[in-house]
Structure 1
Amino acid sequence: MRTVGNDLVRSQLHENRKWYLGLGALLVVFGIVLLAALPFATLTVIYIFGALMMLGGIIHFIAAFKIFEGGYRWFWALFGVLYLIAGYYAFSTPVKTAIVLTNILAIILIIAGVIRIFNALLFRAFQGWGWTLFSGILTLVTGVIILMSPDAPFWVLGLFLAVDILFQGVNYLTLASYIRREVPKSSAEQ
C-alpha cells in the first residue's frame, strides 16, 4: 500500500516537472527584466502596495458592517477609510509613496541591525555569535546606505522585488532539476 502512495507522489512530481521548469524560467526572465529596469520594478511595487491597501480597505468595510456591531463597527470602518486613503495615495503619488516606503524600510533595517548586534554581544559565549554580529552589521549598514542615498526610492524597492522573483525562479528550476536527477520514476512509468 505504501508503494502505491509513493508511486503516485513520484508520478505527480514528474508530471508537474515541466510546469516547475517553465515557471522557473519565466520568473528568472522576469527577475532579470526587473533588474534591468529598477525604476519600473519600484513602480510595480508601489502599485501592488496601493492595490493591496485598497483591497484591505474594502475588506475592513465589509467586516465592519457584516461582522461587527456597535463601537467596533466604526473602529473597523475607520481602518477601512485609512487603508483606502493609503491606497489612493500610492496610486496618485507613486514617487512620494516610494520615498516614504523606502525610508520606512531603511529605518526598519537600521533597527533590526542594532537589535542583532545587541543580541550578538549578549550571546558572545555561544558558538556562532560572530555570524549574528556580522548579519547585524550588514543589516545596519544596508539601512544607513539606503537612508543616505538620495536616489534609493527609485531602485531599492524594485531591487527587492526583482531579486525575490529571480530567486523564486531559480528555486523552481532547482526543484525541476532535482526531480529529474534524484526522484525515481514510479514503477508504472518505468
Structure 2
Amino acid sequence: MADAYEQASLQELRVKWGWFVALGLLLLACSLLAFANLFIATVVSVYYVGILMLLGGVVYLVHAFQVRGWEHFLSWALSGLLYTLAGLFAFLNPLLASAAFTLLLAVALVVAGVFRVFVGRRMKPGKGWGWIVFSGVVTVLAGCVVWLGWPVNSLWILGLFLAVDLFFQGWTLVVFGFGVRT
C-alpha cells in the first residue's frame, strides 16, 4: 500500500515538474539580483526580519488581552511590546539593525559549530564522526570570520547569506524539477 501511495505522489510531482523548474529559475534570478547589490539585499533582509517581528509583536499584544490575570497579561504585553519595538527599530535604522543581526549571526555560528564539534567527538567510535567535527570546525571558523569583520561586514554579510541561500534553493528546485520529470 505504501508503494502505491509513493507512486501516486511521484506521479503528482511529475505533472508539476515545470513549476519546480520555474520557481527554481525565479529564485536563481533573485539570487543574481542579491549578488549584484549585497547592500540592498542586506537591507531587504533586515526589513523582512522587521516585518516578522512586528507581526509577532502584534500577535503577542492581541494575545495579552485574551489571557486572564494581571501577571499573565503583563508578561505577554511586555513581550509583544519588545517584539514590536524591535521590528520598528529594524525599519527606523536598518543599518544599525543589520549590525546587530550580523553580530547575532556570528555568535550563533560559533555556538552551533562548537556544539557540532562536541556532538561529533561524542560519536567518535561511529562511522562519519570526523565529518561532523569537520563541519563544526568550518562553522566555528565562519562565525569567527564574520565576528572579526564586524561591524564593517554588517553592510553586506546578511545580503551575501541571502544571495547564497536563494542560489542553492533555486538550483535545488531546478535539478529536482528535471529529476522528477523523467
TM-score normalized with structure 1 length = 0.85
Shift of 1:17: 2.0
Aligned to 1:155: 156
- Cα distance in structure 2, aligned partners of 1:177 and 1:126: 36
The code of the aligned residue for 2:68 comes to E
Report the Cα offset of residue 119 of structure 1: 3.2
Q: Structure 1 unaligned runs (5+)? A: 182-190
Query: After the TM superposition, which residues 92-111 of structure 1 pair with which residues of structure 2 at under 5 Å, given as runs?
Result: 92-111=92-111
Aligned match of 1:120 = 120
Larger radius of gyration: 1
Question: CA-to-partner distance for each residue in 1:97-153, whole Å, 9 max, x for gaps?
Answer: 111110111011112222222333343333222112211211111111101114221
Q: Give how far 1:18 is off.
A: 2.0
2:80 pairs with 1:80? yes
The one-letter amino acid paired with 2:51 is A
> What is the aligned residue count?
180
What 5-or-longer segments of structure 2 have no aligned partner? none
Give the percent of matched residue pairs that are identical in Structure 1 and Structure 2.
35
Shift of 1:159: 1.5
Matching residue's letter, 1:119: V
Query: AA paired with 1:34?
Result: A
In structure 2, what is the equivalent of residue 90 of structure 1?
A: 90
Cα distance in 2 between the residues matched to 1:60 and 1:168: 32
CA RMSD of aligned residues (A): 2.3
User: Where does residue 168 of structure 1 map in the other structure?
Assistant: 169
For residue 48 of structure 1, report the CA deviation from its aligned partner.
Answer: 0.4
- Distance verdict in 2 for CA 1:120–1:180, change over 3 Å: closer
